[in-house]
Structure 1
Amino acid sequence: MKTILSLLFSLAVAVACAQSNNGVHFNHGTWKEVKQLAKEQNKSIFIDCYTSWCGPCKMLSKNVFPQAAVGELFNAHFINYKVDMEKDEGPLLKKQFNVSAYPTLIWVDSDGNELHKSVGAPNADELISIAQQVIDGKGLAALERNYTTHPNDFSVMLSYIEGLSNAYEQQKIQVVLANYFKSVKGSELLEEKNYSLIKNYLEDIYSPAFEWFHKHQADFKKRYAAEEVEQKLYRTYLSYGHSLVRKDKIDYKGYKQYCKILKKRKVNNREKIVAYIDESICRAEQNWDAYIQKVNENMKLGYHESTNSFLYYNWAKAIDNSNQAQSKHYMQAAQWMEKAFEVSQWPLANNIVYLEEKLKILVKADNTRDKIKQLEERITTLRNQVKIDTH
């Protein structure tokens, strides 16, 4: 017999569904209630893991989930659950399912065991295709079982790696590759299938395979596109450095060893790479004096593209979002936001957003009343100009 709580929850779901015949019907109970409902209806659970600030998440909610074809499939086969990963039970589910990017789409059984995971915002056809894989029992969990049973089958391993890549499970990919490359020696790494694995998936700079790749890069450049090989080395070293820096934890010991490796291997552009990581460390520490100094130094050295409006915007927002910034830091952030407006290639109607962000930053700084008034008048003038241009 259903509990009273379950009956009430089911009634709420029915009412919500009745309000709209199209699109995906999302349930809004607790995680426990959703699992109970899945058991009662003998369905799997689809979880839309989102945040309030995620643009692609909003695109999914606005353009994809409301489509009738998507709703028809999802409502028939899944209990659909939308969760803000930064509120209520979100942080717990984020940890449970190892969510690190948004949107992350997860399918689980009624006990909460993961069936499939996909990161990114697919269009309607792509989302239907992914969901159908889950329905057919071909999700990531099935790929993992197949790989465990046939670890030496290259095609099985490759399918599993591709699934892990779509799920943004980078650490698991490195484990699979480490196991595979144990049996691949020396010049065998030059073979196309192995180079493809290195190029597309290998991110561990300490793995023997990557060390060999670095040491024999000239041989790879003779056989494959030299620029492609060079970019793989650069991006991998840079990405590994960034992986050492997290908001809640910085691996200082790992960073020190990392710098030694870059020097020992004579990595191309190592000074530029280290400069970027130093920026990230200052940002994670919220050491805004050092951050501003480092960013400006790197600009003078030519490490940053001076015409990239997104760079200026991101630098400014880092300070704007901090609870440890001071007035002088906000003023620098405001200057960067102004620079974003100046160099952006967007139409004026879109660029005004940079000035609106600048206005918000100035409000946080002290003694800026005159500047605020001037900027408000400037924004009004530009908005009026846009109206005139569009008529």
Structure 2
Amino acid sequence: MKRIFLICLLFSLAGYCLAQEGTNFEDLTFKEALAKSQTTGKKLFVDCYTKTCGPCKYMVKFIFPLKECGDYFNSNYICIMKDMEEGDGIDIAQKYNVRIYPTYLILNHDGTVYCRLDGGAVSSPKEDFVQKVKDAIELAEANRKYSAGARDHSFLEKYINILRIHDKKRLQTVMSETMIQLGVNKLCEPENWTLIKTEVNNVDTPLFRYLVENRAAFCKQLGQQEVENKIISVYSEEFRVLKMMGIDFDKRMTDLKQFEKDHYKSALPLRYRMLFFYIINKEQKDRANEILKVLQNINKELPDEADRMSVLRELTGFERIANQQQIEKASTYLQEISNNLQPNNANYVQGLITRIKK
């Protein structure tokens, strides 16, 4: 009997030790947790969950019990878990505008937000949740330093690298705020131009607009093809990704017409793609003849077959806006276009003719 008792005791102790390896979530009210945070000098970590949240349950079962989580969180934080739909969790959800679950709040002693991870769950121990929290803290601290006015070169270089990994949207803002003042000559230096090429991908950001408005000066430094490739690629990618979400097509096509005057070869096919999509998507039947005019002259205006095909792929649905006479004209023009294409592309156009005529 004594032996059985000892075995049970050993198992209990083993379970206790194992539990202690993981994150220690304390049974405290929010007010008590803040008070303990202040007494111990540790920040407060709040796991904001709901009972129906699958990722929340996964984190509690598989991530927070890990030894590396226990080592990090128990040493640095007072940790509590709060259901956002009951008790003082309701007030926490309202006060901190918690809408995504799980959300992890890291709070200062006075309850102000030091850092937060909205929807911060991981789906595997391999994702390293501790590192994810450390990265979020690094970003939050850098954001505060920047907002406080830090602009020295070493900080900005580090900050921009952090944003490149963790916050692409804010990166666009910070680059615009700090790089335009450098002027064209500095921006054309390899380090800065590489950053612009790889990271400035929003047509409406001030830095991209600065590039567009000063493209002639950039071309003198970098060559027209280099500048054209960057500018047109941003417009093209925007059209590919966001064309169903309300681009200002008139504004974009006005820009592209200006690029055509600068002899940007890629501007015209992109403008025609936008024109076709916009007219057909908006079902502007009174503009069907604009499409026919493009089809009539496309072999001459776009000698590159890839450019022609990129435009023709936006012709889907033309039959919805065209009358019978316009459909017949389009079919005739498409047949002429087909005669000058490689077999695979010709087959695509023949299929397009068939669909339009149905």
TM-score in terms of structure 1 length: 0.45
Larger RCO of the pair (alpha carbons < 8 Å, separation 6+)? 2
**Larger gyration radius, structure 1 or structure 2:** 2
TM-score in terms of structure 2 length: 0.49
